[in-house]
Amino acid sequence: MGKRLIRDVIDWVTSDSFWKTNVLSAKKLRDKFGELALKMKVSAKPKQQVKPKADPRNKDIALQRWIMAGSDPEQFNWKDE
């Protein structure tokens, strides 16, 4: 068991809202170490990323660039793509 893993588990336990109130001694940490290491690994898996909502100002900026390029404002595509 590496020092890095021990430190990571201790850091995780002390920041986890449930475990920081349930592991209050070195003995408890030793007793639960395997379980805690597994729970830490599971909780660290990346969650699905939510696509950020498009900024509504992006279309206005695109329109301004369209006009500055000499294009006809009436032909600007306002649809989201």
Q: What is the pLDDT of residues 39-62, one digit of tens each?
A: 999 887 776 677 777 787 888 889
CA terminus-to-terminus distance, the chain: 51
pTM for the whole structure: 0.53
Give whole-number Cα distances, 18 to 14, 28, 36, 72, in Å. 9, 14, 11, 60
Task: Give the per-residue pLDDT at 32.
Answer: 93
pLDDT for 56 equals: 79
- Per this entry, what is the length of the chain? 81
> In the chain, pLDDT over 90 holds for what percent of residues?
58
Arithmetic mean of pLDDT, 23-27: 92
